Amino acid sequence: DSVTCVPQGYASYNFVKKFLIRLVLKYATEVICVSQFQKKEADKIHKRDYTVIYNSVDNNVFKNIGTNRKFITMIANFDSISFVIKRVMNFIEACSKVKNKLPDKKFLIIGQSGNKTQLALKRIKELKLTRHVKIMNLVENKKIPEILNLTSTYVQISDVETFGVSCLEAHLCGCKLVLSRQGALPEIFSEDAIFCDHNDIVDISKKIIQSEASKTKDIEKSVLKYDILAKQVKLEKLFKAHHVI
């Protein structure tokens, strides 16, 4: 963690799990990484040739059809790990400052309930945000495009991201993006997002307000860049080369 220095991911695993991961990386016929960032991280564990193929989403499902965009949205679960990595509490604190400038805006956090849900609800009440911030328990995937089309700005201020699929889904649905500079997010969304210091509540709130005042980014390039069929062809060629069934 960039603040607490508490190990996350591979660094937090026990010896056996680390050994098995190194074993897989060493002997796998092919290892696919979803970003250059993930490739560099994997290379620290075991040096070999890695193939980078970016994630993609179905742009026939995730598409811009929204007209009434009333939410500033975040997707994050409320378990101990996700709650901290996704900086949910920082988002809630930032909501209070954004509300002062944009009093008509509503905020939405979508995620599976966990042991941090009550902590979040308590802070929302303390900040007098009960009428402004809504926590929606984990919803079916098929409903996500509908919610994203009700969203003006999508916020992902994670301490680490190997790709950021939900950011891509939001972008293709016409949402503006406010993201942290962590992990692969600058690599993937350099031309499509406003970046903030995810540990600075004032900066987060300023960038959300800036996003709300900005024009929607052109998504046509992203539709082509992350076209799911193009990725499928690449994967099929790769698997066929190694006779994977």
DSSP codes of every residue in 89-127? HHHHHHHHHHHHH-TT-EEEEE----TTHHHHHHHHHHT
Q: What is the mean pLDDT of the chain?
A: 89
- pLDDT at 230 exceeding the cut of 60: no
- pLDDT at 221 exceeding the cut of 80: no
As beta bridge partners, residue 195 has: 179
Contact 92, 127 (CB under 8 A): yes
Structure token digits, residue 36:
């250059």
3-state secondary structure of 158: coil
209's CB contacts (< 8 A; 6+ apart) are 98, 101, 102
- Most distant pair of Cα atoms in the chain: their distance: 59
Query: pLDDT, tens digit, for every residue of 41-54?
Result: 999 999 999 999 88
Q: What pLDDT does residue 243 have?
A: 46
Question: Which residue is it, tokens 């101990």?
Answer: 80
Q: What pLDDT does residue 190 have?
A: 87
3-state secondary structure of 136: strand
Confidence band of 226 (pLDDT split at 50, 70, 90): low
- pLDDT at 128 exceeding the cut of 90: yes
- pLDDT at 136 exceeding the cut of 50: yes
Would the pTM count as exceeding 0.75?
A: yes
121's CB contacts (< 8 A; 6+ apart) are 135
Query: pLDDT, tens digit, for every residue of 72-121?
Result: 999 999 999 999 999 999 999 999 999 999 999 999 999 999 999 999 99
49's CB contacts (< 8 A; 6+ apart) are none
